[in-house]
């Protein structure tokens, strides 16, 4: 409960990616050759997340098990505190997810947008982080 309170505070305080007080353990599944996946893991660690990276060739199987639909497939898949986080999602959106705990499966930044955390290039438009759920497609956050 204290952790949820701290997470909620972190969300209130920060437009800048807040650092988690007590980050839950996260497992990130990546393709062995993926460099930008490691980049995203490094970025999340810098933002206070506790990430274990597992290399696998079974990404599509894991996505099916977690209920990630084809149109929300991103670069890699992370499991954290009962949620799925798909793709190069900014830390602030993950913190918001863990603080608000909506009744969805998780969130996704589909594809590999230029300039997103862990990616090279320059951001050309706001990132639309989508909800992963059985319902209609909805935006969870815009960064």
Which chain residues interact with Cu ion by CB under 5 A?
Answer: 36, 75, 112
Q: Quick one: 18 or 74, whose CB is closer to Cu ion? A: 74
Q: Taking the CA atoms of the chain, what radius of gyration do you get in angstroms?
A: 14
DSSP state for residue 67 in the 8-state scheme: T
CB 78 within 8 Å of CB 51: yes
Instruction: Output the smallest distance, CB 89 to Cu ion, in A.
Output: 11
Q: Quick one: 11 or 36, whose CB is closer to Cu ion? A: 36
Instruction: Output the smallest distance, CB 111 to Cu ion, in A.
Output: 9
What residues pair up with 87 in beta bridges, in sequence order?
Answer: 109
Q: Quick one: 30 or 99, whose CB is closer to Cu ion? A: 30
Residue 36 has a CB neighbour count (10 Å cut-off) of 17
Residue number of the CB atom closest to Cu ion? 75
């Amino acid at each position: 409960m204290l952790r949820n309170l701290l997470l909620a505070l972190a969300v209130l305080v920060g437009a800048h990616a807040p650092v988690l007080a007590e980050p839950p353990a996260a497992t990130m599944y990546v393709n062995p050759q993926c460099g930008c996946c490691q980049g995203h893991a490094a970025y999340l660690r810098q933002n206070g997340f506790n990430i274990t990276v597992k290399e696998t060739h079974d990404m599509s199987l894991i996505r099916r098990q977690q209920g990630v639909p084809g149109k929300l497939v991103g670069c890699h898949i992370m499991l954290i505190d009962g949620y799925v986080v798909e793709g190069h999602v900014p830390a602030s959106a993950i913190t918001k997810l863990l603080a608000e705990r909506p009744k969805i499966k998780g969130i996704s930044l589909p594809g590999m947008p230029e300039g997103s955390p862990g990616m090279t290039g320059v951001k050309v438009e706001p990132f639309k982080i989508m909800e992963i759920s059985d319902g209609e497609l909805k935006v969870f956050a815009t960064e």
